[in-house]
Each structure stands twice: as structure tokens, then as C-alpha cells.
Amino acid sequence: MVDPTCGPLCAFAGLPAIAGSGDGVVAKERDGLGIARITARDRQLAALERLVQRRFHLLLPKGARRTGCGEVSLAGVGPESWLMTCENAGNAFAIGLRDSLGGPATVVDLSDAYVMLRLAGAKVRETLAKLVPVDLHERSFQVDDVAQTVAEHMAVTLWRLGDLAGGEAVFEISVGRSLARSLHGAIRESAAEFGFVFEPA
């Protein structure tokens, strides 16, 4: 019998790993993340805030910002709503969160709902500028800023991580799993003139 857990299966499997020449943009698949959406229940925001701080030593970010501590990060994606991620935790993350935050918040597992790419390289901003209608200038879109927006008709979530040692900016972009191939294509073709390298998980 085939093992139904033989996955996790890469949503990007089989897609071209390079386009153009060079490495103006390097995209790395982020896999194994536990992703949960937590939404404060009616009038429970303060309680949720306290709980998150106690459990994760994190302040719930206000607005479209992101914060992280260790393996865990929290990104504001709507009024009183956050995406929480945890490295290498998979679906278990949300299950655990439901136990810890389930009182003041609704916790929904979205680990499989999104695929995520980490984008770096000298031309990452030029490439993203072809895709998202958001000002990515370093002063306008700062480290840990979050934007939910649209790229070629696809709803995407974008955030900026800390710069690399050399000062190069790093972004992560996620999209609904069913659109993995379309997003990969859009980034690949936009980056091709600078050289695109893709590293699957």
C-alpha cells in the first residue's frame, strides 16, 4: 500500500530551476512551515496579547508588520488577525496553538494553504516591482513590513526579512498552493533578464 504520508510534496516540483543567466534573483522554497491564522475573538484582544507574550515572548504586531522570535513569527494580516509561522512544525503547529491560544483566539491551520518562496539577490526589488503594486523602496517597505497584495491576479502576501550581511534585501512571498506554478512562472519570467535561480525544498 502506498504510504499516504509519503509527502510532504513540493508544490513546485518539476518546475524549471533556472532562467536567463546569473543569479540576480534567488528563490528558495520554504517548506515544512507550520502556518496558522489566529483571529482575536470578540473583545478578547487584550487577553490574546497577554497570552502571546507569555507563550512566545512576542508582542502582537499592530498593523501590517511582522515580528519574530526564534522559530516563530507573527505577521499582521488584518485587523485583529495574524499569520503565525513556525519553522519545521507542519500541521502540528496549529494543533498546538489551538490548545494554547484557543481561548481568546480562533486558530485555523493554513500550513498547506500557502506556498512560500524566500527571495534574495541583487535584483530582487527590480523583479518584485514588476509583480506587485507596492512601494518596495527600503525606506517605504522596511524590514518586517508586511503587504497583502496582488501579483498578476494572484493574491500574495509579501514581507521583508532582515537584510543579508552585505546589505542585500530579502523577501518572502506566499500564495495559495493551487497557484504555486503560476507564481513561480511569474517570478521566473520577471527575473529572467537578471538571471533566476530556484532552489526547491
Going residue by residue from 90 to 129, which x/- string records binding to another protein, judged by CB under 8 A? Answer: xx---x----------x-xxxxxxx-----------x--x
Q: How far apart are CA 48 and CA 31, in angstroms?
A: 28
Least gap, CB of 121 to another protein (angstroms): 15
Q: From the CB of residue 162, how many other CB atoms can be counted at a distance below 10 Å?
A: 10
Beta carbons of 197 and 27 less than 8 angstroms apart = yes
Q: Any contact of residue 29 with another protein (CB under 8 A)?
A: no
Rounded to whole angstroms, how far apart are CA atoms 124 and 130? Answer: 10
Three-state DSSP state, 126: helix
Report the C-alpha gap between 132 and 159 in whole angstroms.
12
Query: Measured from the CB of residue 103, what is the shortest distance to another protein in angstroms?
Result: 12
Which listed residue (13, 17, 59, 69) binds another protein by CB under 8 A? 13
Q: How far is the CB of 71 from another protein (least distance, A)?
A: 20
How far, in Å, are 49, 50, 76, 81, 157 from residue 40 at the CA level? 9, 12, 12, 6, 20
Q: Which stretch binds another protein (CB under 8 A): 1-9, 45-53, 67-75, 158-166?
A: 1-9
CB 23 within 8 A of CB 188: no
- Nearer to another protein by Cβ, of 42 and 99: the residue is 42
Positions that interact with another protein (CB under 8 A): 1-9, 11, 13-14, 19-20, 37, 39, 41-42, 63-64, 76-79, 81, 90-91, 95, 106, 108-114, 126, 129-130, 132-135, 137, 140, 147-150, 152-155, 176-183, 185-186, 189-190, 192-193
